[in-house]
Structure 1
Amino acid sequence: MSESEKPTKPAPITRTEFTVFRELPTRWMDVDIYGHVNNVQYLSFFDTAVNGWYVDEGLLDPARSEEIFLVVETGCQYFAELVFPEVVTAGIRIEKIGSSSVIYTIALFKEGQQAAAAQGRFVHVLVDRENRRPVRISDRWRDALKRLSV
């Protein structure tokens, strides 16, 4: 592959591109043998940030809601290591709201840093808890989700 054919890595997103943030402390168990937060934990941070926002907004009761969101796609680009102990700030915004799905952009920021240490895409589909079939996002949910749109 020639240099011109190689894909270019995007620049890290900055904090100014978000209006909603959630703080997530790293845990001892997040760190791998290399001394940094393991890559799989970044996806866990994405999931925790989004679902924590749902709960705080009164949109989701994880144990009792009749409808729940399931992750159907996720991805992450890494720019800087996260460590323990550290409080990571997750910026959350919505790229698109579909009839039953939501596409998020999430960025993880190290303490005091303006550029993302990692950023990714996170796709949720709203489903019936029992049969796991997609359901339409209600107007109440849609109004709340629009507050995350940039």
Structure 2
Amino acid sequence: MRGKRDDYKLFRTIATRWMDNDVYGHVNNVVYYSFFDTAVNAALIEAGVLDPVASEVIGLVVETGCRYAASLSFPGDVAAGLRVAKIGNSSVRYEVGLFDAKADEAAAEGFFVHVYVDRETRKPTPLPAPLRAFLQGLTAT
């Protein structure tokens, strides 16, 4: 069963680019992961809970996955829906649905698991309170 827009909490529009298409005329599978990364990190930066250059705690990807259901292509806009499936002590499972701009069902659904670590030591560390509060607002219901 494909996810619906209502299943996600926060959306970002991502424009496809000519270079995203492969020889089959659709967005190549590897590009979907870049869309996931953009959706997650842009949300964190815009919420003020991640400074890519200065944050003492950063998220490292330890697991990813994707299910493809329909093609996306250039030219076109993709609506990337974001939600949080699980919050641990130092980890988060983000889920992202990619939708054709006009569709209500996801063309693809994927996930990222971030383990948050100290920037210097790279050792897992508890989620900072502001980050945890932001993530709780994105938790799937």
TM > 0.5 fold call: yes
Task: Classify the secondary structure of the residue corresponding to 2:102.
Answer: coil
Q: Which amino acid aligns with 1:118?
A: A
Residues 1:61 and 2:51 aligned together: yes
Instruction: Using the TM superposition, give the Cα deviation of residue 136 of structure 1 relative to its aligned residue in structure 2, in angstroms.
Output: 0.4
**TM-score, scaled relative to structure 2:** 0.95
Query: Superposed, which structure 2 residues align to 1:118-133 within 5 Å?
Result: 118-133=108-123
Task: Classify the secondary structure of the residue corresponding to 2:2.
Answer: coil
Aligned to 2:17: 27
Aligned to 2:72: 82
- Kindly report structure 1 stretches of 4+ aligned residues shifted beyond 6 Å: none
In structure 1, the gaps of 5 or more residues are 1-10
Aligned to 2:91: 101
Q: Aligned partners of 1:137, 1:92: CA distance in 2, in Å?
A: 19
Query: Superposed, which structure 2 residues align to 1:30-41 within 5 Å?
Result: 30-41=20-31
Q: Aligned partners of 1:70, 1:27: CA distance in 2, in Å?
A: 26
Instruction: Using the TM superposition, give the Cα deviation of residue 19 of structure 1 relative to its aligned residue in structure 2, in angstroms.
Output: 2.1
Instruction: Using the TM superposition, give the Cα deviation of residue 20 of structure 1 relative to its aligned residue in structure 2, in angstroms.
Output: 0.9
Q: Which amino acid aligns with 1:127?
A: V
Q: Aligned partners of 1:43, 1:133: CA distance in 2, in Å?
A: 25
Aligned to 1:5: none
Q: How many residues align?
A: 140
Q: Which amino acid aligns with 1:25?
A: A
Q: Aligned partners of 2:139, 2:68: CA distance in 1, in Å?
A: 23
Higher CA-based Rg? 1
In structure 2, the gaps of 5 or more residues are none
Aligned to 1:113: 103
**TM-score, scaled relative to structure 1:** 0.90
Aligned to 2:5: 15
Deviations 1:92-150 (A, max 9, x none): 11111000000111100001100000001211111111221111002211111101012
Identical amino acids, percent of aligned pairs: 53
Q: Which amino acid aligns with 2:52?
A: P
Aligned to 2:125: 135
Instruction: Using the TM superposition, give the Cα deviation of residue 26 of structure 1 relative to its aligned residue in structure 2, in angstroms.
Output: 0.9
